[in-house]
Amino acid sequence: MTPRKIFGIVLAGGEGKRLMPLTEDRAKPAVPFGGQYRLIDFALSNLINSGLTQIVVLTQYKSHSLDRHVSQTWRLSGLLNSYVASVPAQQRLGKRWFSGSADAILQSLNLIHDENPDIIVVVGADHVYRMDFRQMIDAHIESGLDATVAAIRQPISLADQFGVIEVDDANPARINRFLEKPKDPQGLPDAPHEVLASMGNYVFNADALIDAVLRDGELTDSNHDMGGDIVPAFVSQGRAGVYDLRRNSVPGSTDRDRYYWRDVGTIDSFFEAHQDLISVLPVFNLYNREWPIFSQQLNSPPAKFTRDARGTLGTMIDSIVSLGSVISGAHVERSVLGPWATVGSGAHVADSIVFDRASIESGATVRRAILDKDVVVEAGAQVGVEPELDRSRGFIVTPSGITVVGKGSRVRRAS
């Protein structure tokens, strides 16, 4: 049923203020995740696995790291006009940047006109999930509607954290109302304790989306946002449907991770999403060979675990360790280590996320912490142990007690 001419747009211009300092020097979709990945890899992998071969990534905020990652990692053959292209704000409508996600599409209509697709798939770039968009596209075509919003069921108690979709009782596939972070929403007809939360993924008939962003661009009272303005406009005209993720069947998925979706927009949710990766039966399984998550293939040696100079053997428990990392006589538990990370003799790392090339020296302690790239924790130093000490050093400590150390920082031993 799926037509040939499908065009993918990845909205990757987000600033990600709530992930500071991880977004101090990079766009949110470029933030490392799960050791060797970037957040954008999940959206692009889902699109590629779904058979989409013409995809543009609309970037804006501190995009160099993101642009480089897309160009180095997502090189399609170029045959049959297949590509993943990073496209910065072009200022085609004047000397201004994108004023919202809908405006990003408006300012990039030339990309759509060049390909002249029948269907446009629009997705966010900073969520962790698996999804077969072919199934959603087929459902969209079958519905006869102009817009379809992907949704995941969430407890009604969490409704004020999401854009919530209320469905038509007579036709549960049609959206009746689209509410932004409602305080008192209605539950679903078949599950009163649940609501449908927007995943930030959409399928549109191409001509309808073009018309919608053009009309929105003329409005002075619009925020020019896909979820806040474009989708409600389709809903008000009775032209929007919903696609429940429970209808989606991804090859190789398990009962435990089949409907996993996480918005990692805060430090706490980012940390918790990593914890979902490391259990024996992970809540989100990176090891699904039938629906792989692609990323840059690093020219790096394997990870190595060695005794230290005194012959002390370290321990590694419930953790992910990336290529190039060396752990020497240290204890690492419930943690994720990025490429080329090093952990020295007698060091103790627990419940932490360690980015590329971070160095944890001998006898150091890292607990409930996120270390950005090139961080050095000096011998005997501690981070994540005393929140007040971490704050006095200028590190961010969340209310739940997660310490975040910015890129290139040095954590010294307290005197």
User: Which residue ranges does the chain devote to CATH 2.160.10.10?
Assistant: 304-411
- Strands 342-343, 326-328: parallel, antiparallel or unpaired by DSSP? parallel
Two tokens at 178? 């689209």
**Residue 32, Cβ neighbours under 10 Å: how many?**
25
Has 198 been labeled as part of a binding site? yes
Domain 304-411 has CATH 2.160.10.10: yes
Residue 152: per-residue pLDDT: 94
**130, 253 in Cβ contact below 8 A?**
yes
Q: What are the pLDDT digits (tens) for 307-339?
A: 887 877 789 999 999 999 999 999 999 999 999
User: Which residue ranges does the chain devote to CATH 3.90.550.10?
Assistant: 6-275
Residue 100: per-residue pLDDT: 83
**337, 326 in Cβ contact below 8 A?**
no
Has 163 been labeled as part of a binding site? yes
Q: Give the percent of the chain with pLDDT over 90.
A: 69
DSSP secondary structure string for all residues of 323-387? TT-EEES-EEES-EE-TT-EE-TT-EEES-EE-TT-EE-TT-EEESEEE-TT-EE-TT-EESS-H
pLDDT band at 15 (very low <50, low <70, confident <90, very high): confident
pLDDT band at 163 (very low <50, low <70, confident <90, very high): confident
Q: Is the pLDDT of residue 379 over 80?
A: yes
Q: What's the chain's average pLDDT?
A: 91
pLDDT band at 168 (very low <50, low <70, confident <90, very high): confident
Two tokens at 402? 């997660």
CA–CA separation, 203 vs 226, rounded Å? 12
pLDDT band at 2 (very low <50, low <70, confident <90, very high): low
CATH architecture of the domain 6-275 equals: Alpha-Beta Complex (3.90)
Has 28 been labeled as part of a binding site? no
Lowest mean pLDDT among 31-40, 42-51, 189-198, 343-352: 189-198
Q: Is the pLDDT of residue 389 over 80?
A: yes
SS3 203: strand
- The sign one gets for the Cα dihedral 67, 69, 73, 74 is negative
Q: Is the pLDDT of residue 97 over 90?
A: no
Residue 297: per-residue pLDDT: 78
Could you say which DSSP state residue 395 is in? -
Q: Is the pLDDT of residue 169 over 80?
A: no
